[in-house]
Chain A
Amino acid sequence: DTEVTQTPKHLVMGMTNKKSLKCEQHMGHRAMYWYKQKAKKPPELMFVYSYEKLSINESVPSRFSPECPNSSLLNLHLHALQPEDSALYLCASSHPQGKLFFGSGTQLSVL
C-alpha cells in the first residue's frame, strides 16, 4: 500500500464554520506534512510532524490547527477561515529522511 488517502476530496465552508481535513497512510511513515496550494502556484509547506510531534510550523495562522492522533493519521482543523484560504490542501508522508508521498488533496472553498 503506497497510498496517502485524503478526505474529503472537496469541501465548501462558511467563514464561521469549523471543519476538519483528514489524511491517512499505512506505509509506516513517521513523518507527515500539510501543504497548501493556490491555483497555478507551487505547493507551500505548512506543517511537519515527526514521530507524532509537531516539528515545523511555517508561521501558519492559528485558524489552521494540525493534529496527529497516531502515526497513521493527520488532521487539519479549520476555524474562522477567510475566502483567501480557499486552496488545494495536500497531505504527504515519508520516512524521516526519505521521499514524500502525496495524497490527491482536498479542494477547499471558503464562502
Chain B
Amino acid sequence: DAKTTQPPSMDCAEGRAANLPCNHSTISGNEYVYWYRQIHSQGPQYIIHGLKNNETNEMASLIITEDRKSSTLILPHATLRDTAVYYCIVRVATAAGNKLTFGGGTRVLVKP
C-alpha cells in the first residue's frame, strides 16, 4: 500500500490560509488521494479527494503535483473550528473493497 508522509504538527493564524503538505511518492496510477480530518474524540470527517487534477469544494482545495508524488491541502481562511488532526490517505481500491490506511496525520492548531 502506498504510504503517506506528513509533518506531525503545524500552527496557523486565524483568517489566514493553511497549507498542509503530503508526500506520497509510491502512489500508483489509479490510486486516489483522500483527505480527512478528525476533531478530538469524533469520527474522521471527509474533506476532499482527487486523482490527477486539482480539486476544490466548499471546505478546501487540493493541489496534486503533476508527477502525483505529493499534494497540498489548502484551507483558504482558517477558523478556530479547523483545529484538528488532518490525514492524507492514499485509497487502495481492491476487489475486496476500499482500504483507507491512515498515516500519522498533521495536528493543526489554529490560533487567534
Contact = CB atoms under 8 A, between A and B. Distances in A.
B101 interface: yes
Chain A residues touching B, range: 20 to 34
B98 A102 contact: no
B99 A56 contact: yes
Q: Which of A94, A100, A101, A104 has the most CB of B within 10 A?
A: A100
A56 B45 contact: no
Contact of B97 (A4, A42, A90, A96): A96
B59 to A, nearest CB: 13
B21 interface: no
Nearest to B47: A99
Contact of B98 (A90, A100, A104): A100
Nearest to B101: A45
Nearest to B104: A42
Nearest to B85: A42
Contacts of B49: 99
Interface string B74-112: 000000000000010000011011111111110000000
Contacts of A103: 43
Nearest to B96: A55
Interface string B4-38: 00000000000000000000000000000010000
Interface of B: 34, 41-46, 49, 87, 93-94, 96-105
Nearest first, the 6 closest Cβ-Cβ pairs linking A and B are: A102-B43, A42-B102, A55-B96, A48-B97, A50-B97, A55-B97
Interface of A: 4, 31, 33, 42-45, 48-50, 55-56, 88, 90, 92, 94, 96-105, 107
